[in-house]
Amino acid sequence: MIERYALNRSVILYANDAATVATTLMSQAEMESALQIALAPSEVQNQLAQAGYGAGAKLLNYIVPLNWFLPDLPLEKSPEGVRGHHQPKSFNRDEYKVLFTKAKFATGNPIADEDIIKKTVAREPLVVVKANKASG
């Protein structure tokens, strides 16, 4: 019941063997835009392909405002003096960092989109991409 509530209240985009979670309130169009920009560089596409994306691997991704720091996610080291979560209410809605991770499961790959989130037992960080929706 709690799991269902959390999934229903989260902003999640399911597409192409991946689940992408927004860590702040944003529309599906905003998520798609940030994700499209982050996926555009060939280096990113190559890293994801090397991890098996497109060949059966599932991704669990996160879109995080650029000036936020979330120690639960393997994004980057927090700056000096920042401890724990740092989530300013005011942030630039054009600037995000997108974390791509390979989802790991106890047994096999899930088929349903929502199962990527529900059945992930570990994540392998692949790449963090800074995306600016205003400049592309």
pLDDT band for position 135 (cuts 50, 70, 90): confident
Does the pLDDT at position 1 exceed 80? no
Question: What integer pLDDT is reported at residue 32 of this predicted model?
Answer: 92
Residues whose CB falls within 8 Å of the CB of residue 112, separated by 6 or more in sequence, listed in order: none
Question: What is the value of pTM for the model shown?
Answer: 0.85
Query: What is the rounded CA–CA span in Å between residue 95 and residue 121?
Result: 29
Strands 18-22, 59-65: pairing kind? parallel
Segment 67-80, tens digit of pLDDT: 877 777 777 665 66
Cβ–Cβ under 8 Å, residues 18 and 59: yes
Write down the mean pLDDT value for the chain.
83
Query: What is the rounded CA–CA span in Å between residue 3 and residue 62?
Result: 18
Question: What integer pLDDT is reported at residue 2 of this predicted model?
Answer: 58
What is the amino acid identity at position 135? Answer: S
Angle between helices 42-50 and 28-39 (to 10 degrees): 90
Look-up of token digits 């960080």: 125
